[in-house]
A and B are shown apart, each in its own frame.
Chain A
């Protein structure tokens, strides 16, 4: 069964994160919250987003823009250290992905699209921890009606 270009792209991103950020656990397609008290951190969760399609750029080809989010979770002994760990993990994600071109035909043009950060408030979390959601996009190019990896 052929593998879709979307899945190929997300698998490549996950492999890149795993290889470049060895200190963090990388997960895909997780549907439950991350337990910042009991799970091993730092942790990254990659989730694929929407696909925008543009068939006007090239004859017989569709140019897709795939958005995805990398959520990061970090914990530390103090509030300040938790924020610093969050910033450090985010920087590692950007260093791993921004400007990187997957070695897969039809996938490229990685774009960074910003991030949101939050330290978990004390009335919700006794242990200092933080999370971020970093947004990126990739360009996928496929023949019309054939959105599979080459």
Chain B
């Protein structure tokens, strides 16, 4: 394990930075992970007019905590909310995944 692995693991185990979550690829079982959440609300470009303002949610999870490569349609559950993974981006060292989440229900 490199110093980068250890540093990343320390960050994800820090209770002040991360929260307990669960990941799964439906219909498989949930797997416990730690997630570092990023939530921001931003103005979104309009159609030549006012535009909208909305919040987005992203979660970083350790790559070692899951066996799958996250993909659209996977789920991350935080508390009672099951978010749907819309996109997944791996960091340069392949240590973590940044998941773009949607709280849309599955159609």
Contact = CB atoms under 8 A, between A and B. Distances in A.
Interface size of B as a range: 20 to 34
A81 B44 CA distance: 20
Nearest to B72: A122
Interface in A106-150: 116-118, 120, 122-129, 131-133
A91 B47 CA distance: 18
A124 B107 contact: no
A35 B47 contact: no
B107 A35 contact: no
Contacts of B104: 77-79, 82, 127-128
Among B48, B50, B101, which residue has the most Cβ atoms of chain A within 10 A? B50
Interface residues of A, number: 34
A132 B48 CA distance: 10
Contacts of B46: 33, 71, 131, 133
Contacts of B41: 35, 37
A36 to B, nearest CB: 5
B83 to A, nearest CB: 7
Contacts of A132: 47
Contact of A122 (B42, B51, B102): B102
Interface of A: 30-37, 45, 47, 69, 71, 73, 77-82, 116-118, 120, 122-129, 131-133
Given A31-B50, A33-B50, A133-B49, 16 more contacts: A32-B53, A33-B51, A33-B52, A34-B51, A36-B54, A78-B104, A81-B107, A122-B102, A123-B56, A124-B44, A126-B101, A127-B55, A127-B102, A127-B104, A128-B104, A132-B47
